[in-house]
Structure 1
Amino acid sequence: MATTRTIHLQLDKVLEEVFVLGTELVMDIYHVAPPGAKSFSVSASVDVTCWVSTPFKSAATDMRGRVAVGTQVHAQVLTPSQEVGDKKMSVTFYGVKADVALAKARVYLTAIGLSLDVDSDRDGIVEQNHPNKATWKWGPNGHGAVLLVNCDKERDSTSSPDNEDRSLQGAADLQDMSPMLVRTRGPAKLPPGYSLQLHSLQSQHAGVFHVPDLSKVIGTERQSLGPGKSSYSFEYPGRGGEVNFFVEGLSFPDADFNGFVHFHLSLLQVILPGTQSTPIFSDSVVFRVAPWIMTPNTQLALEIFMTRVDTNAVFVKQMTTIARLAGCTPFEIQNTVDVWMQDEMEFGYCECPTKVIPVVFDSPRDRGLMAVPLLLTGKDFGYVTRKPRRGEEVNSLDSFGNLEVSPPVIVKGKKYPLGRIIIGSAFPGERAGRNMATAVREFLFAQQVQAPVELYSDWLSVGHVDEFMSFVPAPDRKGFRLLLASPDACLRLLKELLQQGHGQKRLFESCPDVVSSLKRKLKIQDIVDDKNITTENAYVQRCIDWNRDVLKRELGLEEADIIDLPVLFLLNKSKAEAYFPDVVNMVVLNKQLGIPKPFWPHVDGQCPLESHVRSLLEPLGLACHFVDDLKTYHLNLGEVHCGSNTRRSPFAGVRWWDVGPL
């Protein structure tokens, strides 16, 4: 149904109006009729269609109607004007004598085509007047335009991402934005008193640049619309001209922003000088800001980042070798105070129909590596961060070893084609426990396409989910396996070694230089016989089993999808720490696995724990490489995964707008 607009006829006067093609004029007859009027007739230009109750086309002929309460004349114009006021119509009123005119009302129309257009069908092309451009629908058959947050840096010299400034950062900056066009048809100009205006109630979340001539972009133009400026007036271009706008996202979806940005184009008219303009036509479009998306271990590893310090040369060398075997590029970052690369940031990406850019999420931990995430960003490489709210203190659970994502899963028929984010928290209902900062949690939930799962990780000293779980690719079943740390499996393996006569062998016997610093029992016999160790690890196993049940339920897993890897823990002030290097805390680089070397005693020339891990993972087509992370990482409560960070390929063939809110 066409948008209607009511105008009031004036007897014996010419009313000049601008008419927008596709709309409908409505004119009251009864109240404007002169005293004694009994009937009326309508005449109009050949391309003006008029009707009272049923449409009729007027071709310089009269059509009579009765003046009665509720009588209205409707009119539509079919073609744009060539000149101002060239579409004409008139209403003539008659008294008792049908051939005697009492009065006449004339309307001169200037008909224009006017539309605000975006890429509503998400094919990379701005179509004209898409019927659903003002609404958003998720799914493969959905509609609604997509907007990237312009969070990269076009100019490396700048210290902040482009979405934090209010001007173009070079002409190439437009490539990170979504086009929005004002299309017109009609005469060269509008009658006096008319103007065009673009406005948005969400201007704090999106910036708009007006680019009059794409061949003459200076690259320093200021925003036409954005934070603190919710409307922008501009000239009607005329003669079929277009007005080029480019829209940049300024904010990711969050607790206070659902991701939708609406823009409205209004045709305004000044009725009385000195008064506010009144709208006579409005057209609307909607964008949805692209979410930040994480990538799981099953995605192709592209780059791995490590810190180079004085004590980890062997670690870096071994990891570099594994990376090259995986076809992954290794990067070393010099830093003398912070080796926990995983905790500082998490790599993800954002996508629109024409572009995909990696985006690094900077954690709020802000320690020795705090400058690295922003330094990594540049052209087509974005950045986002969240800080704790006032009154909240950063704790260990805010580090991103506590932020993982599953591979794609199907749970009770519901598909999660981008996987599900996994974070660790305090036990449900425990007020005194540690939790991830509210701002970070709300950000993750607000992205909507990787519905987060919360696990219980506060039982650990460090408190990160990567200490007891990981995912590896697999050629069968769901395409992956969930790896879980298992104290029970570890104690079984130690008891087997004891029964085989190896009870006097010691952990870390190949590392005499660190044994004195380890305040724990090292002899297999002593470990197995220690009731405190078995009791403490029974508690740890219960904590892991709680998470096991949550993961099975929330990821749709069965026992056959889970592999238990032997890991032993000790309690330090009631919080758990790995007894020896935690083999679950590994790096997955395609089919190459960088696993913490556990430093168990050798039996028949082999480490029994390494052999056990190989027996579980190598049948999946995976190569196990055991990496020495003892001094720099394990002794400081971290492992291989904690000391590295991997950027992976985005999902191919899965568009987030097809996924829908989860």
Structure 2
Amino acid sequence: MSTSHARRAALAITVIGAVLAPVSPAFAVEPPPQVDLRADVNRDGLVDVRGVTDTDGEDSWAPGRGAVFLPNIDDDSKRCAVKGPGGKPLPDAKLAACNDASDAKVNGADDAADLARVRSVPMAKAPATATGALRVVNGGKYTRVFLKRTTGWTLVTAKTRLSAAELRSGVELGVESTDVIRDSKVWDGRAVIRLTVTSGGKSTSDDVTLRVAPLLTHHHLQNAQQLTVTRVPGKDDYARRQQAFVKGLAAEVKSAGISKPLVTFEKYGDIWAQDFVEPGYVSMAGPGGRQHVMRVMLRSAQADREAGRELFEKLRGNGVGVVQVSGVRDSEEWTLNSMGNLETIPPYNNGGRFFPAGRIIMGERKDSGSKPAQAMRTLLKSQGFQDPLLLDTSWLDVGHVDEFVQFLPADTPRGWKIAIADPDAGLRLLREAKAAGHGKTRMFSVPGSKDLPAPKETIDQALASKWLVADNTMAAKRIAANLAVLMRETGVTGAEVVRVPALYTRGSGEQRGDSMPRLTRMGAGQTPDAVREYGQQKELARHREGGAAAGGVMTSAYVPGAVNGIVLGRNRYLAPRQWGPVIGGKDIFTAAVTAAYTGAGMKVSYLDDWYTYHVGMGEVHCGTNTLRDASAAWWKP
């Protein structure tokens, strides 16, 4: 028998007797190598390819565990244009369209830091014929993947192939999102990345799931790091007063230990810096477990409010992005879309609901059914962490939650308290002063001038007015109803409520005889004529809806609203100067407000905003904004 025949016979015997004789290894088909893709599932800032700390839960995502990646919407190299051909202003849509994720490149070292890392476990035994392919199988429209090679970062496409050498050593990927979550029904923020390895005609793959970091708003347990304010240019009386406000604010900020200088908006003259933007942030675990934070300035849902453009023109840059919503309906009330109508309850756990990053509150007009823009509410709710809670602001002319409630850091098990405006306490101060024989004392101690006459009413006249007592009785009931909602939702007890004396009144400062600033808070960004027309339309609408007949009075602060101030630190608070009745050399409202905040552990200082903001239906808080520390992990209590 020839050697070849002998081999064929032996092979036949092997095949026929397969049960009795094992196949020789020389003829076995080698299985494809095991593929293992890893991400930072445990959020410690590292991708573990040697141990198993990042394996459990890699195919799912939960609030407390799962890989996170960032919407790369800042502009690290300041490449985004803010003007078009010939120096013409860019349309809002084009301003918003440019960021680091819009060019499919990694723009230097800073931008690489904005990429979440994904790694493959080295496949030491990958055969020379093995190749790898990468694909985003879910969320691909919003997700971009880069591959790190010796030549730098390269965009992963359908044509990208990993060599056997790369598979053996393991590859590093960088992942970014091109946007925040806008509507969870359209995209819930998840991206599934798949590595498929092919060898010997067979393929095997592994997936890993990431979710884009939620866009979160700040709460008052986060330390203030920098303040923003509009500075009105010019030398007229209002400009000088407003510039003095900015100077006074800078001094108070420095006194509170905040070292960064004020960010001043100067281009559009919209004095309500609280209202055209809400500072927020996104973050993920970075090197050493520290949070890698990107600030995100959330522009108000007011397309005709030009001041929001300065967020792109001045603030967008390295580590700072801007988001604006679209699709706001004309029927959605303009003033409710100001960001003074968005505040954040600090973290809490109550009734089985846990909000480790705090919870948003916004005002709605329940009397008329008007709510903040649906597009904005959808975006906020879709983040999945700060489910907005709506409070009733029907009784407020401007309709913002910052006009009657705020949250104070406190040395309590919860860590914070609710500060609430108390009109009953305001009325009590006046009645006690009258009873003590001070009814002839002027209601306000604010000095006037030739062009700006000070209010002249006395305490007796204020209490005898047609509306003041009735309006504040109504306001007290409305505030109590809102407080009940907050206490039910958060579990806060009466001992955790700080009641701050306040007074409200129907009508504007103009109707009270005060000289109005250039812009009212209700009509900010519009011409004075448009502001007046807007106010008249609101008044007509109120009567058409039968609001006045049904007791649907709208009010604004009579005495400067003390809760409408700034939490500068865990024990520092800046309030609007009260300018209340002075009895025995003491402003009785200032004394009462100071006592309320001091009792809550806060040191109070005051800043005059009467002619700059108060008579325009706003206060110190309305004219400023605060960038806060976001270095704590948002998924932890």
Shorter-chain TM-score tier: 0.7 to 0.9
Which residue is 2:230 aligned to?
307
Which residue is 1:94 aligned to?
none
Letter in 2 for 1:421: I
CA distance in 2, matches of 1:651, 1:556: 27
CA distance in 1, matches of 2:284, 2:18: 59
- Superposition pairs of residues 142-181 of structure 1, within 5 angstroms: 142=65, 144-159=66-81, 160-181=98-119
Query: Any idea what the Cα deviations from partners look like across 1:601-657, whole Å, max 9, x if unmatched?
Result: 2111111000011111123332221211111211111110000111111263xx334
CA positional deviation for 1:485: 1.4
CA positional deviation for 1:531: 4.3
Which residue is 1:135 aligned to?
59
Maintained 8 Å contact 1:308/1:333: yes
Which residue is 1:200 aligned to?
137
Structure 1 residue ranges, 4+ long, deviating more than 6 angstroms after superposition: 514-518
- Superposition pairs of residues 465-484 of structure 1, within 5 angstroms: 465-476=401-412, 478-484=414-420
The structure-2 alpha-carbon separation of the partners of 1:407 and 1:196, relative to structure 1 and needing over 3 Å to count, comes to closer
Which residue is 1:340 aligned to?
272
CA distance in 2, matches of 1:514, 1:120: 67
CA distance in 2, matches of 1:112, 1:415: 43
Q: Does 1:362 align with 2:299?
A: yes
Which residue is 1:589 aligned to?
568
SS in 2 for 1:125: coil
**Which of 454, 457, 462 matches 1:527?**
462
CA distance in 1, matches of 2:58, 2:601: 50
Unmatched segments (≥5 aa) in structure 2: 1-7, 9-13, 82-97, 233-238, 287-291, 508-538, 540-552
CA distance in 2, matches of 1:656, 1:299: 11
Maintained 8 Å contact 1:138/1:658: no
Q: Which moved more, 1:256-265 or 1:412-421?
A: 412-421
Maintained 8 Å contact 2:298/2:324: yes
- Superposition pairs of residues 465-614 of structure 1, within 5 angstroms: 465-476=401-412, 478-513=414-449, 522-572=457-507, 573=539, 574-590=553-569, 591-614=571-594
Query: Any idea what the Cα deviations from partners look like across 1:332-369, whole Å, max 9, x if unmatched?
Result: 33246211111121222222111223322222235242
The structure-2 alpha-carbon separation of the partners of 1:172 and 1:512, relative to structure 1 and needing over 3 Å to count, comes to closer
Maintained 8 Å contact 1:237/1:243: no
Letter in 2 for 1:236: S
CA positional deviation for 1:289: 1.2
CA distance in 1, matches of 2:326, 2:450: 38
CA distance in 1, matches of 2:296, 2:631: 14
Which residue is 2:181 aligned to?
253
CA positional deviation for 1:166: 2.2
Maintained 8 Å contact 1:265/1:284: yes
With normalisation by structure 1, the TM-score equals 0.75
CA distance in 2, matches of 1:341, 1:371: 12
Which residue is 1:642 aligned to?
622
CA distance in 2, matches of 1:210, 1:613: 59
Letter in 2 for 1:135: D
SS in 1 for 2:308: coil
Say which one has the larger Rg.
1
Q: Which moved more, 1:197-206 or 1:461-470?
A: 197-206
CA distance in 1, matches of 2:249, 2:316: 23
Q: Does 1:118 align with 2:39?
A: yes
CA positional deviation for 1:516: 7.0
CA distance in 2, matches of 1:514, 1:245: 68
Letter in 1 for 2:483: R
CA distance in 1, matches of 2:105, 2:298: 24
The structure-2 alpha-carbon separation of the partners of 1:245 and 1:477, relative to structure 1 and needing over 3 Å to count, comes to closer
Q: Does 1:436 align with 2:357?
A: no
CA positional deviation for 1:324: 0.8
**Which of 191, 194, 211 matches 2:148?**
211
Which residue is 1:377 aligned to?
316
The structure-2 alpha-carbon separation of the partners of 1:615 and 1:199, relative to structure 1 and needing over 3 Å to count, comes to closer
Maintained 8 Å contact 2:274/2:621: yes
The structure-2 alpha-carbon separation of the partners of 1:196 and 1:523, relative to structure 1 and needing over 3 Å to count, comes to same
Query: Any idea what the Cα deviations from partners look like across 1:454-473, whole Å, max 9, x if unmatched?
Result: 11123311111000111222
- Larger RCO (CA within 8 A; separation ≥ 6): 2
CA distance in 2, matches of 1:174, 1:184: 25
CA distance in 2, matches of 1:447, 1:205: 15
Which residue is 2:193 aligned to?
263
Maintained 8 Å contact 2:38/2:55: no
Query: Any idea what the Cα deviations from partners look like across 1:114-170, whole Å, max 9, x if unmatched?
Result: 332222232222223754354225366x4x211111122111132432123322222
**Which of 273, 287, 293 matches 2:210?**
287
CA distance in 2, matches of 1:501, 1:477: 44
Which residue is 2:360 aligned to?
421
Maintained 8 Å contact 1:197/1:268: no
Query: Any idea what the Cα deviations from partners look like across 1:152-207, whole Å, max 9, x if unmatched?
Result: 2111132432123322222431111012234433355217xx76342323111211
Q: Does 1:297 align with 2:224?
A: no
Maintained 8 Å contact 1:290/1:351: yes
What is the count of residue pairs matched by the alignment?
541
CA distance in 1, matches of 2:261, 2:395: 33
Q: Does 1:456 align with 2:378?
A: no
Which residue is 1:6 aligned to?
none
Unmatched segments (≥5 aa) in structure 1: 1-11, 13-32, 45-59, 61-86, 90-106, 226-230, 272-278
Maintained 8 Å contact 2:230/2:269: no
Letter in 2 for 1:656: W
CA distance in 1, matches of 2:400, 2:101: 31
Query: Any idea what the Cα deviations from partners look like across 1:219-257, whole Å, max 9, x if unmatched?
Result: 7x5x325xxxxx454133337133332111223234222
CA distance in 1, matches of 2:268, 2:37: 54
Which residue is 2:84 aligned to?
none
The structure-2 alpha-carbon separation of the partners of 1:620 and 1:575, relative to structure 1 and needing over 3 Å to count, comes to closer
CA positional deviation for 1:270: 11
Which residue is 1:656 aligned to?
634
Query: Any idea what the Cα deviations from partners look like across 1:542-574, whole Å, max 9, x if unmatched?
Result: 221111111111111111111222222222443
CA distance in 2, matches of 1:402, 1:540: 17
Maintained 8 Å contact 1:508/1:515: no
Q: Which moved more, 1:124-133 or 1:610-619?
A: 124-133
Maintained 8 Å contact 1:118/1:145: yes
CA distance in 2, matches of 1:392, 1:132: 48
Maintained 8 Å contact 2:39/2:119: yes
**Which of 627, 631, 640 matches 2:611?**
631
Maintained 8 Å contact 1:322/1:592: no
Maintained 8 Å contact 1:207/1:248: yes
SS in 1 for 2:478: helix
CA positional deviation for 1:446: 1.7
The structure-2 alpha-carbon separation of the partners of 1:42 and 1:323, relative to structure 1 and needing over 3 Å to count, comes to farther
Query: Any idea what the Cα deviations from partners look like across 1:478-519, whole Å, max 9, x if unmatched?
Result: 33221111221111111111111111122334333499778x
CA distance in 2, matches of 1:560, 1:483: 11
With normalisation by structure 2, the TM-score equals 0.78
CA positional deviation for 1:422: 1.2
CA distance in 2, matches of 1:135, 1:508: 64
> Comparing both structures, which one devotes a greater share of its residues to helix?
2
